A and B are shown apart, each in its own frame.
Chain A
Amino acid sequence: MKEWIRRWYEGDTELLTDIMDGAEVPDRPRKELKQQRKAFRAKILERVNSEPVLRAQEKSFYAIYRVIAVISCVVLIGVLLFTVANLPHYGTENPRTVEVVRRYIEHGLEETGAVNVVAGMILDYRAFDTLGESHVLFTALVCVMILLQLDKKTIRGGHMDSYYRVKQDTYFDISKDSIIRVAGMVIVPCIILLGIYVLLNGQNGPGGGFSGGAIIGAALIMFATAFGFNAVDRIFTRRALMTTTFVSLAFYSFAKGYVFFTGANGLENHIPKGTPGAILSGGLILPLDIAVGLVVACTMFGFYSLFKRGSIGSD
């Protein structure tokens, strides 16, 4: 043991592997041990004596750190305020983008078939942006899975199991609370209904894929909080989540690829625009809204599930 401590103090890098391999502590004669102890004490004394110097160094470091922090903060605020002061006023026309804006406002309805110009903009004119955003969400979900998902070994056996799971699940588990259960029973269907309304009405009014999907995801989180994860696991496994996300993203990519191809090459586009204001209008906007909404809802719930218990679904 003392040998290990000595090696640890000297910064031996092979110490950990030696301990893991079960290396035996070498026996040392008493004289050598005494000498070691003396050397150890001398080292500690040396360290203590040199402490004032260390402390002074630390103090100067923190002083410089604070000064630099204040300076960089002030510079950043100045740059941002200067930029804001040079922006065009709210509501006035910006001469650089006025052509694009006019085109969107004047021809948006006939070209996209959507009453909500914003939906026409983000899902028709600039659908590539939204495609990238959905893929960013998917990538974020995958990254969180890589970081936080517990693997099967950790879940099934080993001492990590009892400690981690019990602590995680009982600390904030409020699913047995009857107030939350009854409130969830009343609120969750309403929120899901509102989310579906916002999702399907994106081309006619405010809303659309991202906001509707976020509302549905929040409702799923509420459901999982009120009724526990076992209730959600029956329908929402990891396989279901991954399949939904993949199908949505693939559909989005192919549908938009078709539209871009036919539009760019002057070919005939077979997607009907529909009457503006009806639910089935706006060409591809409604299906794309649904695809984006599914991706967002899956991502939101996946984040929550991974943060809370380290896995999506029970597998």
Chain B
Amino acid sequence: MEVTEIFRGILLLLLIVCAIAVNLTKKLLQAVIIFMSYSSIMCILWILMESPDLAITEAAVGAGVSGILFLMTLKKIGSEENNEQPGQAPTEEKP
């Protein structure tokens, strides 16, 4: 097994971990940051798959602009203000 294969395997594992962690995180801010790291990992994977066009777009849009838009939305809905209770999503309604 080559080194790049191992590297790719590690990255794919991290990708799955990130994808699951986004869903399981209770705090929205952390979820956004994990989503941005997901995009960064995907960007490296695109380079490994020899499509640098997509890698540039993924880095600029996925990790950059969409993350900023998510953060602006968090600010708009005011989830930063009632983030004091740990382990509970601010917008989640309890049944």
Please report A residues at the B interface, Cβ cutoff 8 Å.
58, 62, 90, 116, 118-119, 171-172, 198, 205-208, 210-211, 214-215, 217-218, 221, 300, 303-304, 307-308
B57 located at the interface, meaning its Cβ lies under 8 Å from any Cβ of chain A in the complex: yes
B69 located at the interface, meaning its Cβ lies under 8 Å from any Cβ of chain A in the complex: yes
From A58, A205, A206, give the contact of B55 (CB < 8 A).
Answer: A206
Q: How far is the CA of A206 from the CA of B50 in the complex (A)?
A: 10
Which bracket fits the contact residues of B?
10 to 19
Query: Is chain B's binding surface mostly helix, strand, loop or mixed?
Result: helix
A308, B57: Cβ atoms closer than 8 Å: no
Q: How far is the CA of A221 from the CA of B68 in the complex (A)?
A: 9
Q: How far is the CA of A118 from the CA of B52 in the complex (A)?
A: 10
Q: How far is the CA of A308 from the CA of B56 in the complex (A)?
A: 25
B53 located at the interface, meaning its Cβ lies under 8 Å from any Cβ of chain A in the complex: yes
Q: How far is the CA of A300 from the CA of B68 in the complex (A)?
A: 10
Residue of A nearest to B61 (CB): A214
Q: Which residues of A contact B87 (CB under 8 A)?
A: none
A-B contact pairs, 18 of them (CB 8 A): A58-B95, A205-B52, A206-B53, A206-B55, A207-B56, A211-B53, A211-B56, A214-B64, A214-B65, A215-B56, A218-B64, A218-B68, A221-B65, A221-B68, A303-B69, A304-B68, A304-B72, A307-B73
A307, B72: Cβ atoms closer than 8 Å: yes
